[in-house]
Structure 1
Amino acid sequence: MTETNTKSGGSSLSKALTILKEVCCTNTPLRFADLVERSELPKATTHRILSTLTEEGLVRLDDHSQLYHPGYGLLELAHKAWSTLDIRDIAADQMRELWKETGETIHLAVLDRGDVIYIDKLESQKSLRLFSAVGKKGPVYCTGVGKALAAFLPEAQLQEIIATQSFIKHTETTLNSEEKLREDLIRIRKSGISLDLQEHEEGIQCAASTIFNYRNEPIAALSITAPAFRVDEDRFLHFQQRIKEACAEISSRMGAQPLTENQD
C-alpha cells in the first residue's frame, strides 16, 4: 500500500468513526442533515459512510422517521469483544503499578463456587511467605479478595456461597459466623474496600477491592498483601485508597458504571 493510500484509508476510517460516534453518543436520534452538520463532512461523503455502516449493521435507519440509530451489529461486536477479554491482561498494568509503588504482594482473584482462586500474583520484593499461589484456592469468608467479591453478589448467590463456608477459626480475628461475615459485607459495600486483618494467616493483612464488568457484576478482586509488622496505620490507609482506585480504573475499562456512595 502506498503512502497516499495509507493516508486516504486512515482519513476514511477517521470520517467513518466520526459519523458512528455521532450516531451512538447523541442523546436523541439524528437525521441525515444533522449528521452532515455535526460531522462537517460533504453530503456525498456522509451518505456513502452511512450506507456502508448500515450495510454492516453498525447503524440503522428508521424508514418512517428517517432518524439514524445505533445498529444491532454493535451488540454482536461488543459481545465478541467482552467474551475474549482476559481480566489478567486488563489488570496487568495496574497490578504492576501497585507492586512498584508498595513493594508488597499483589493478588488478582476470581470466585470459583464457594472459594476464591488466585489467577495472578506479583510477589513482594521483600522476603515474604504466603499461603497464596496462582491456581490455589482460598476461603471466601476470611480473605480480603473473597469478601470483596461476596459483598456485591445477588442475595441468592451470596446465600449459596455462605452455605459452603466452613467458618473455621484460623486466627483470633477470623470472622467465624455468618452473622459476623454479613456485618463485614455491609461495611464493604459502603466503603468499596475489603480488609483481611490477619483473619486467614497470622501476621498477614491485606486491603482489597472489587472489579466489576459492564453489567456492574463483580468479576474479580485485587489486593495488596503485607505483613502487619511493616505496615503502620497511615501506610495501610494508603493501600486501601490505592487498591480502590486501581479497581475503579480496571472496572471502567470493563465498561462498568461508577457505584454510588454508601451503596448497600
Structure 2
Amino acid sequence: MTTKNTNNSSSLGRALSLLNEVCCSPVPLRFADLVERVELPKATVHRILNTLIEQGMVRFDEGSQVYHAGYGLLELAHQAWSKIDVRDIAAEQMRELWTETGETIHLAVLDRGDVIYIDKLESPKSLRLYSSVGKKGPGYCTGVGKALMAYLSEETLQEAISAQSFQKHTETTILNEQALRSALKQVRKTKVALDLEEHEEGIQCAASVIFNYRNEAVAAISITAPKFRVDDEKFKHFQERVKDACTEVSTRMGAMAST
C-alpha cells in the first residue's frame, strides 16, 4: 500500500511539473524543451502529456509542434472560483478593520434591491445597531446597498430602484430615484459609498464593493460608527481603509487589477 501511494504521488508530481512548465513558460515549448526542463525519460513525458491532453489540461498544436495550456484549465478555474465563499475570503480583512477601528464591520450582499447582512463583527464599544446577520436592509439608504447598486447593469439597476420604498428614516435619507442615481454615480467615481445618518440617526458608515473573478460586484464591506466619536479626519481614513480592504479581497477573489 505504501509503495502504491508513493508511486501515485510521484506521478502526480511529475504531471504537475509538466503542466507548470507548459503554463508558465513565456514562449510555447516543444516536446524536446519539456523533456530537457523536467529531466524525465521521453517515454514518461510523452505518456503524461497525452494524459493531460486527454483531460483538456494541455493543447498540442500540430502545425507548430508546441504545447499550450488547455481550455480545461479555464473550466477548472471557473468551478473552483464559483464555489468560493466570500465570507471566508473577506474574514481576514474584516478582522483587520475591526481591530484597527474598534467599530462595527459588516459584510453584505444585494438581493433584489435589499441588502442582506451575511457577516458582522460587532464593535466592543456600547452601541445598538439595526443590522444583524441574516437581516435585510434597504439598499437606497445604506452604504453597502449603494456600494452594490452602483455596479448593476442598467436593467438590473432599474429593477432594484423600482423595489425601493424611499421611506424617510432621517432628515438626510435619499427620497427619490434622481437623488439615488446621483449618489451611485459618485460611488462609481470614488469607489466608496457613504451612509451619512441616512438610515439611522447619528450613525454613519463607509462602504466599498468586492468584485469576483468575473469582475462582478458580489458583496460589500462597511465600517459603521456613531458620528459623535468619529470626526471628519477619522471618517475619511475609514473610507480609504475600507476601499483598500475590498481591493485586497477582490484580488483574492480573482478580480482584475483594473477594477
**Same-fold call, TM > 0.5?**
yes
Deviations 1:81-133 (A, max 9, x none): 12321111111111111111111111010011120100111111111110101
Q: Which of 35, 38, 41 lines up with 2:39 in the alignment?
A: 41
Within the alignment, does 1:193 sit opposite 2:192 as a pair?
yes
Partner of 2:247: 248
Within the alignment, does 1:137 sit opposite 2:130 as a pair?
no
Gaps of 5+ in 1: none
Partner of 2:54: 55
CA contact (8 A) 2:208 2:243 kept: yes
Deviations 1:183-211 (A, max 9, x none): 11111111111111111111101110000
Q: CA RMSD in A?
A: 2.3
Structure 1 SS opposite 2:53? helix
Shift of 1:169: 1.8
Within the alignment, does 1:207 sit opposite 2:206 as a pair?
yes
CA distance in 1 between counterparts of 2:197 and 2:33 reads 61
Partner of 1:165: 164
Within the alignment, does 1:150 sit opposite 2:166 as a pair?
no
Q: Which moved more, 1:161-170 or 1:14-23?
A: 14-23
Partner of 1:69: 68
Structure 1 SS opposite 2:128? coil
Partner of 2:80: 81
Cα gap change, 1:160 to 1:27, in 2 (>3 Å) = farther
How many residues align? The count is 258
Cα gap change, 1:73 to 1:241, in 2 (>3 Å) = same
Shift of 1:168: 1.5
Within the alignment, does 1:107 sit opposite 2:110 as a pair?
no
CA contact (8 A) 2:221 2:246 kept: yes
TM-score by length of 1: 0.88
Deviations 1:161-196 (A, max 9, x none): 111111122111112111111111111111111111
CA distance in 2 between counterparts of 1:206 and 1:71 reads 45
Q: Which moved more, 1:99-108 or 1:79-88?
A: 79-88
Q: Which moved more, 1:100-109 or 1:70-79?
A: 70-79
Cα gap change, 1:25 to 1:149, in 2 (>3 Å) = farther
Shift of 1:232: 1.2
TM-score by length of 2: 0.89
Gaps of 5+ in 2: none
